[in-house]
Structure 1
Amino acid sequence: MKRKRRGVSFGTTVMLVLLVITLGGSVFVILRLAGNGSIDLARVAGALQMEKGDQKIENIRIQQDSAAQSGGPGAASQGAAASQPAQPPASAVSSGRDGAENPRAVLTFGGTTAIETEVRRSCYFNDTKKYDFTDMFQPLREVFQADWSCVFLENILSDEYKVNATIVPASAAALMSSAGIKAAFGGFSGIYDKGQAGLASTRQALESQGILTPGLEANGELTVLNGIRFYIGAYTGTISSSVRKSMAKNGDDTAVPAADPATIQRDIQNARAGGAEAVIILIQWGKDGKNVDKTQRQTAQLIAEAGADVIIGSGSRIPQAAEMISVTGTDRRQRQTLCVYSLGTLLSGNRNNAKRLGSYLLHVTFEKGQAGAVLTEMSYTPVYIWRYKQDGKFNYRCVPVNGKAPDGMDSEQMKTMEKAGNAVADVLTGSPLTIR
């Protein structure tokens, strides 16, 4: 007689469900340990209300970033109360590098990238009737290798409008992606020239290349790099008041966050409360060709007092000083904030003087120890905008001044490159930065 087949018992079903949940959780943790992620501060705020020991994380949205590693720079303020934030669940944090004693993150920042008319034309090829922007940053590809990297972009990227000194084809995003650059700060004085459509097309062009877009969207995320929680705040102070009014009228007032000190202070406080171990503020400020003014210094002081660890500026299009700003924390202990007023112009067709041809990349290293995330290294690479003529048209390459001169660079061009490098060295005399 055939034996009657038994169904799966209730107990077995429960065990199988638990096994699936456990395996799913393990895969989630492994994915987080393997890469970087972004934490939505709005969700973090709710999770931080949990009682101690509660490891529920459904109120924290962690998104795996695109193929390009994402992250946000910053170094924790030592001794300040702001540097001791409430901690989100451990499962929301990626681990340090394999074999590293302490988690470390290396970040690199480049200056104003302006694909102006002459630069754009140099990238057009008559035989294919197409643009190719990928060569100009290739000499910097190795220098840009980092856990996170960013430049200050001053262009609208779109195929819907006629090109000019500001508007370039969407394919220009390949300029950054081909060099391994992971983010482009897109806020500048002309970013709203085509309204929300120009903003959207620029974001879309960059994101299609795996490039993050700080400055072109509301701030509000923590990003994890090698086990360190960073907050990047990106703010633009060079948009005119009339344009700001137009943006507000169209409901776009937060699309390009304004460089308002009170807003920046509030955002830093929220980020620290949300678990940020380190804070960097990227800011578009100053006037073209002008030195650092009183307003910039006052703003930098306020940002430092709010708890920023690094401030990186752009907007003047010339290299400017880097210094440490000393502030007193709420616990009356001294701490310091690195402030770089302007990295200068990384790419442009303006060749009026050596200051317009030279800029510098900023390299910072953060290490996480028992005292938290700490800025441990600060260095720079001077860069020269090399222009040369080939086959009847000009070509542009951005090259490290302290590296080997590229093939084809003649003695006169080498002298010009030396002058550009000296212009950078002059503004950094006495700064905390060392040449890389």
Structure 2
Amino acid sequence: MSKRNRIILIAVISTLLVAAAAVALALASRKADPTPTPEPTAAPTASPEPTLTLEPEETVSASIAVGGDVVMHTGLNTEAKTETTYDYTPIFGIVTDEIASADYSVCTLVTTFDTGADYSSFPLFKSPHALADSLAGVGFDLVNTATSHAMDSYKTGLDNTLDVLDSAGLDYVGTYRTSEERDAANGITMVDINGISVAFMAYTCDTNGIPVTGFEHAVNCCTTDYLSGQSRIDYDLLAADMAAARESGADIIFVFMSWGGEFETAPSEMQNDLADYLFEQGADVIIGGHTRVPQPMEMREVTDIAGDTKTGYICYSLGNLISCQNDIYTNISAIVNIELTKGADSGKAWVSQVTYEPIYMVDLYDYGIDDYGWHYRLANLHAAIDAYDSGEPWAFMTGEIYVDMVSALEDLHGFFGAELDRQNVEEG
């Protein structure tokens, strides 16, 4: 190789070496770079606070259907007479459904069951024993026997009345055979309804002029002047009994009262005073009777002797459930449905809802109808009126009966308030 070519070759190699060194230096520089370009990161987010969810308390509930006074006039006995006995169940008509559908049903018995068959009505009510079976048959579970007519068959008849009720499987409250029987629970009949304990109590202001001297235990009289005046309230008796009810562990205290003037459509001052006192002493429910006509009902906020505030319910009078009376308002009443609720954890019970079903005692004699096959029937007012309005009236319905029923419903709304009428409650 010539010198010139060797020089060119050396120059080329030198150039290549320089270039390779430059590349190596660049690569080394890149590897040594300590600050790579950071990747973008998401902004930090706060962790949500945990939500505390409270489970609703488990509850149990019970319903009590309440009917008014069973006033046993002779016409009802005639209506119920069969070839061999008496059957009063047809008289209750479709209202039986309202009675039987509740968990527990109660009414007031305004008659007695004497030992003989000498039946009578006003002024001394003595009825066939079959009435007790009929009351049980339509769905009643308990009857209040503390009424102004509790002594109409005197002490022997009072005792026999309780025997007959026992035979029919009916509970009762308000009258007693012996002082031991009354003192055993201070006159309280305790009933468990679906796990809710209810203390039933009952009082009357008079005994139809018949004294209970020597056996004062027989009838729960809440006045000391029960033979005349009926104006002096026996607060000692009521205080002792209500204290026993509070201490009994009862969840609900339910009190029947036979009070007020007959045919009076508004409560008297005495009724108001007694109601206030009973609520203060722990009553949750007060059901009145004796007036033969309806008196107002209401839900009210009450504070009892322990300082607890709760919802109480009172109907000053439900009027007659069944009777043959045709004085104004004596043939209208209601089946009241009282809903009770109890918390499984708290153990507290309360009146959670009250509604009523308006009813009407149909007396076909009043309309000159004497050939229909029956004369007395309880009718559900809404059902009867709706059937007539729909063009399919019940067979006994006349235009006159329809007009009277519409008027009766308006009257009941006036007494009891339309807002508690079950149909209005369900329709919202």
**Aligned residue number for residue 58 of structure 1:** none
**Aligned residue number for residue 373 of structure 1:** 349
Report if the CA contact (8 A) 2:146-2:174 is conserved: yes
Percent identity, please: 24
Report if the CA contact (8 A) 2:106-2:143 is conserved: yes
**Aligned residue number for residue 69 of structure 2:** 112
Which amino acid is 1:239 matched to?
T
Report if the CA contact (8 A) 2:340-2:349 is conserved: yes
For residue 289 of structure 1, give the secondary structure of its aligned residue in structure 2.
coil
Alignment equivalent of 1:321, drawn from 296, 303, 324: 296
**Aligned residue number for residue 376 of structure 2:** 396
TM superposition shift of 1:352: 2.3
**Aligned residue number for residue 47 of structure 2:** none
Counterparts of 1:23-422 in structure 2 under 5 Å? 101-125=58-82, 128=83, 130-144=85-99, 145-158=101-114, 160-165=116-121, 166-217=125-176, 218=182, 219-239=187-207, 243=210, 246-249=211-214, 251=215, 253-259=216-222, 260-290=234-264, 291-330=266-305, 332=307, 334-353=309-328, 355-369=329-343, 370-371=345-346, 372-388=348-364, 389=369, 391=371, 395-404=375-384, 405=387, 406-422=394-410
TM superposition shift of 1:207: 2.1
- Give distance in 2, aligned partners of 1:384 and 1:175: 19
Moved more, 272-281 or 260-269: 260-269
The change in CA–CA distance for 1:432 and 1:269 in structure 2 (over 3 A counts) is: farther
Q: 5+ residue gaps in structure 2?
A: 1-56, 177-181, 223-233, 388-393
TM superposition shift of 1:431: 6.6
The change in CA–CA distance for 1:402 and 1:135 in structure 2 (over 3 A counts) is: same
- Give distance in 2, aligned partners of 1:112 and 1:363: 16
Report if the CA contact (8 A) 1:324-1:432 is conserved: no
The change in CA–CA distance for 1:222 and 1:284 in structure 2 (over 3 A counts) is: same
Cα shift readout 1:92-125 (whole Å, capped 9, x = no counterpart) = xxxxxxxx95211100110111120122222224
The change in CA–CA distance for 1:236 and 1:316 in structure 2 (over 3 A counts) is: same
For residue 202 of structure 1, give the secondary structure of its aligned residue in structure 2.
helix
The change in CA–CA distance for 1:299 and 1:109 in structure 2 (over 3 A counts) is: same
Moved more, 292-301 or 168-177: 168-177
Which structure: larger Rg?
A: 2
**Aligned residue number for residue 15 of structure 2:** none
When the two structures are superposed, what TM-score results if normalisation uses the length of structure 2? 0.71
For residue 199 of structure 1, give the secondary structure of its aligned residue in structure 2.
helix
The change in CA–CA distance for 1:205 and 1:138 in structure 2 (over 3 A counts) is: farther
Aligned residues: 329
- Give distance in 2, aligned partners of 1:333 and 1:185: 28
Cα shift readout 1:116-165 (whole Å, capped 9, x = no counterpart) = 0122222224xx25432221113112111211111111111235041111
TM superposition shift of 1:332: 4.5
- Give distance in 2, aligned partners of 1:392 and 1:334: 53
Report if the CA contact (8 A) 2:147-2:203 is conserved: no
Which amino acid is 1:114 matched to?
V
For residue 403 of structure 1, give the secondary structure of its aligned residue in structure 2.
helix
Q: 5+ residue gaps in structure 1?
A: 1-99
The change in CA–CA distance for 1:231 and 1:391 in structure 2 (over 3 A counts) is: same
The change in CA–CA distance for 1:233 and 1:431 in structure 2 (over 3 A counts) is: farther
The change in CA–CA distance for 1:153 and 1:326 in structure 2 (over 3 A counts) is: same
For residue 330 of structure 2, give the secondary structure of its aligned residue in structure 1.
helix
- Give distance in 1, aligned partners of 2:302 and 2:395: 47
The change in CA–CA distance for 1:383 and 1:232 in structure 2 (over 3 A counts) is: same
- Give distance in 1, aligned partners of 2:135 and 2:95: 11
- Give distance in 2, aligned partners of 1:414 and 1:396: 16
TM superposition shift of 1:416: 1.7
Structure richer in helix, relative to its length: 2
For residue 399 of structure 1, give the secondary structure of its aligned residue in structure 2.
strand
Higher relative contact order by CA 8 Å / sep ≥ 6: 1 or 2? 1
- Give distance in 1, aligned partners of 2:190 and 2:172: 14
**Aligned residue number for residue 45 of structure 1:** none
- Give distance in 2, aligned partners of 1:394 and 1:307: 45
When the two structures are superposed, what TM-score results if normalisation uses the length of structure 1? 0.70
For residue 278 of structure 2, give the secondary structure of its aligned residue in structure 1.
helix
For residue 168 of structure 1, give the secondary structure of its aligned residue in structure 2.
coil
- Give distance in 2, aligned partners of 1:415 and 1:433: 19
Report if the CA contact (8 A) 2:143-2:173 is conserved: yes
The change in CA–CA distance for 1:192 and 1:331 in structure 2 (over 3 A counts) is: closer
